[in-house]
Amino acid sequence: MSRPPEPLEIWASPESTSARIDAGRRRDQLAETGHQARAGDIDLLAGLGVSHARYPVLWEKTAPRDPREADLSWAAPRLERLREHGVAPIVTLLHHGSGPDGTSLIDPLFPELFARYARTVAERFPWIERWTPINEPLTTARFSTLYGHWYPNRVGDHAAFGRAVINQARAIVRAMAEIRAVNPAAQLVLTEDLQAFHADEAHAADGAHQRERSFLSAETLMGRIVPGHAMHEYLTRACGVPAGELAWLVEHATAPDLMGWNYYTHSERVLLDRSGPHYADVAAVYVRDVGISPRPLLRDAYRRLGLPLALSEVHVDGDEEARCRWLAERWRDARALRDEGVPVLALGAWAAFGMVDWHSLLREREGYREDGVFTFAAPDRVPQRTALTALVERLVRGREPETYAPGWWEGEERLIRGRTVA
């Protein structure tokens, strides 16, 4: 007789980004949301009854000068408090960051420096089992070297993109080796953006390339980027990555133990013709009238990678009803996929204490605040409960969510007139 599946894990986690926007500006969501100053937030997280929390011990904040000289006085009591409450931390060491000022995603020494930092943190917290050394490495590389949003602010620089991808992959491999030297049972949780690209015949090649690229970080760590793989040719020819570096990653393959996919309303894209040399890349939610859903994407990801899955960031910009609707629908997605045999292990409520200025990818300091599981609050204030707080507690207890009104992403008014596509 087969064993019944383990209960779906429910996570709740703060938004932890510490991004270098350009050479002179950084954005720190832990500070800007007030979470950094509020030790009591840990009790609020634990009070939800969740099993895990993705939690930051960030390199540039903790060891800005020497990776072996980390100040863990902020992280230690918080991680220990989570442990006391029975909430297992999933520790993140870099979250949309590029390291301290002395290094960057394209620095040849980046992997070595990062691995030293990982060893320092692991030796201080040898009991931690799940680790996300680098959050969304592919997304961070794209934003920093292809789109110019974050440091080093390159646009269309495929050589820099290839270097950023390979540096982060090597850093993760080396970091996990150092962590497992301390705790052999340590598990790698890789997180990435769950993307889809819808394109007409004119842009089919671009869409196919971007679909292949969306699996790049996972397949690089799994040692799959070998001659004959579409990304092998792209990395070696277009990006100038030496074949020997890819061979090293094959030899030292470090497959994720859990693949965390982050799905947002803008994760699916449509490539639209605009009668010129370049196409328009538009969020599918605004131009497709068939709706959006992560179910087919998660099925495809499981078929391709064969890794256990998590929906590791579940958040939408909206009022309480909308945020509840989005989480409830993702819970139903997870349950439906589990019934099909797809091993979705966890559902992660994201931005527990809100976020600020993500509508501009942190590039504009406008103070645009979003609530999360709890309300956004000043550093000297206590975040308040919301309807989403009660929903998370309900899901933790294994109870069905209530029915919520359709969200803005489901109404016809969201569609851009004249640009709707099937």
* pLDDT digits (tens), the chain, 422 positions: 455 568 999 999 999 999 999 999 999 999 999 999 999 999 999 999 999 999 999 999 999 999 999 999 999 999 999 999 999 999 999 999 999 999 999 999 999 999 999 999 999 999 999 999 999 999 999 999 999 999 999 999 999 999 999 999 999 999 999 999 999 999 999 999 999 999 988 889 999 999 999 999 999 999 999 999 999 999 999 999 999 999 999 999 999 999 999 999 999 999 987 666 678 889 999 998 888 999 999 999 999 999 999 999 999 999 999 999 999 999 999 999 999 999 999 999 999 999 999 999 999 999 999 999 999 999 999 999 999 999 999 999 999 999 999 999 999 999 986 555 55
Domain boundaries, the chain: 9-414
Q: For residues 210 and 153, what is the distance between their CA atoms, to the nearest angstrom?
A: 20
HSE-CB for 277 with a 13 A CA cutoff: 0
Per-residue confidence (pLDDT) for residue 1, from 0 to 100? 45
* Structure confidence at residue 31 (pLDDT): 98
pLDDT of residue 279: 80
Backbone angles phi, psi at 375, to 5 degrees: -75, 150
Quote the pTM value: 0.96
pLDDT of residue 276: 63
Residues 6+ apart with CB under 8 A from 287: 270, 272, 415, 416, 419, 420, 421
Closest CA to 212 of 136, 304, 340, 99: 304
If you ran DSSP here, which 8-state letter would residue 217 be given? H
User: What is the CATH topology of the domain spanning 9-414?
Assistant: TIM Barrel (3.20.20)
Helix or strand run (H / E) with residue 246: helix 243-251
Query: Which single residue is written with the structure tokens 């297992």?
Result: 88
